[in-house]
Amino acid sequence: MKENRTETNRRGLLLCVSGPSGTGKGTVIRRILASNPKMVHSISVTTRPPRQGEQNGVDYHFRSRGEFLSMLDHGDILEHDLYCDHYYGTPKSNIDALLAAGTDVLLDITIPGSLSVMNSYPEAVTIFLMPPSFGELRRRLAGRGTEDPEAMRQRLEKAREEISKAELFTYCIINDDIAAAADKIMAIAQAEHCRYERQKGLEKNILAR
Amino acid sequence: MKENRTETNRRGLLLCVSGPSGTGKGTVIRRILASNPKMVHSISVTTRPPRQGEQNGVDYHFRSRGEFLSMLDHGDILEHDLYCDHYYGTPKSNIDALLAAGTDVLLDITIPGSLSVMNSYPEAVTIFLMPPSFGELRRRLAGRGTEDPEAMRQRLEKAREEISKAELFTYCIINDDIAAAADKIMAIAQAEHCRYERQKGLEKNILAR
């Protein structure tokens, strides 16, 4: 695809992907990153212990509670949330620089996290990833087998409450097929770049040339 | 791609594609229709004479001025415009039925036409197709060689006035590559279907299942 001056100078998108635990956010995001080298994932910081197969610095930055609170104190966290007794946060670090350089940044973020980002970045794109049904979500979480029944009950209760907040997001995608959900998020990014409000004044450049 | 109940019942999109003469709307729309059998093009009615290679009922419904005015009188035209001394209009006929059946409908429509559709269909998606530059537009129109200098001068003057109206459209695409422009319009359609406001209440279906 040819790049024109307007597109080359375009600002990156801040894409917030939220959804209840068990919806497959991580898998969908990995799929997008694998096929889209221009998109970057801002890795979250969490105090939750790693699950089987999760790697520090790849899936999350795993930190102790003390380390997390110290990052908070130093203003190094864009937004954070306490979720099922563990902290989750977005490191501020290089997000602004990436956006200014035109890189699209994907955040795997809690629902209150997305709402909080909307305040600091009103131009952020918020996407809610949904399970196909509540029953399917229950099966997926049970299939993980990583949690005791009480933690599982808490997650399901939380999920029900979260799903009812879908209307606060601009986009809503049902994840019944990983490739299709990833495609939709990439289409959203492409479409958002085409919004007039993200290209204000382009008509003046065109008329002048 | 799997279809779920919410998506199967979804309403079609009314996609208005506008842009100055010579921007390549027709070519881009033909490209989309060729690769996307689920999208339908509502063919405009015009009183302008056919150009070389244009077919009645394919590129336009070519009608006499008398026939056009009679359609207007009978309420068979959704919107119309007088452009360089010729009428252009969108036949109302089956648009509502197509949208209700979930079919996306593409309109190749004048700029005032798009603005008028926005009034009757506030949920319509408006896309402005731009030439890469005003100089390039002049070359494309001259290359057509179908018009006398005065008609050409009128079209360019009109184009300048039209390009300055880009801000009235939701999306704006620079057509410097037909395949890329077609891709962007298809991404916009996919993204628009994912907007929460087009799927209101889907969270209730998900929680109930």
What would the DSSP string read from start to end of A42-110?
Answer: EPPEE-SPPPTT--BTTTBEE--HHHHHHHHHTT-EEEEEEETTEEEEEE-TTHHHHHHTT-EEEEE--
> From CA A44, how far away is CA A56, in angstroms rounded?
10
Instruction: Specify if A144 maps to a domain.
Output: yes
Interface residue B125 vs chain A (CB under 8 A): no
Name residues 145-174 of chain A within 8 A of B (Cβ). 160, 163-164, 166-167, 169-174
Domain range for B46: 6-199
Report yes or no: B16 at the A interface, CB cutoff 8 Å: no
> Which of B2, B35, B5 is closest to B186 using CA atoms?
B35
Does residue B14 contact residue B198 with C-beta atoms inside 8 Å? no
CA-based diameter of chain B, in Å? 66
Q: Which of B2, B136, B156, B194 is best to mutate for the A interface (most A CBs within 10 A)?
A: B194
Q: What is the pLDDT of residues A70-96, one digit of tens each?
A: 999 998 898 898 888 999 998 887 788
B53 to chain A nearest CA, in Å? 29
Domain assignment present for A10: yes
B205 part of a folded domain: no
Q: Which tops the pLDDT comparison, B152 or A17?
A: A17
Torsion angle of the four alpha carbons A65, A128, A187, B23, in this order, in degrees rounded to the nearest 10: -120
pLDDT at A38: 83
Asked if residue B36 is part of any domain, the answer here is yes
Domain count of chain A? 1
Distance CA(A196)–CA(A180), nearest Å, equals 26
For residue A2, what pLDDT is reported?
41
The secondary structure of residue A205, as a DSSP letter, is H
Work out the minimum CA distance from A111 to partner chain B, whole angstroms: 15
Amino acid occupying residue A143: G
pLDDT surpasses 90 at A37 = no
Structure tokens at B30: 């033909």
Task: Give this prediction's pTM.
Answer: 0.85
Look at residue B135 in the predicted model and tell me its pLDDT.
92
- Interchain CB contacts (distance < 8 Å): A and B: 139
Tell whether A65 is covered by a domain. Answer: no
Mean pLDDT computed over B56-76 = 92
Encode pLDDT of B1-42 as tens digits: 344 444 446 899 999 999 998 899 989 999 999 998 889 888
User: Does B204 reside within a domain?
Assistant: no
A169 pLDDT higher than 70: yes
Query: Using a CB-CB distance cutoff of 8 angstroms, which residues of chain A are in contact with residue B160?
Result: 207
Q: Is residue B103 part of a domain?
A: yes
Of A2, A164, A207, the CB nearest to B203: A164
Is the distance from CB of A125 to CB of A188 less than 8 angstroms? yes
A71 within domain boundaries: no
pLDDT at B201: 94
Amino acid at B205: N
Give the integer Cα–Cα distance in Å for B54 and A171.
40
* CATH code at position B28: 3.40.50.300
pLDDT on residue A93:
74
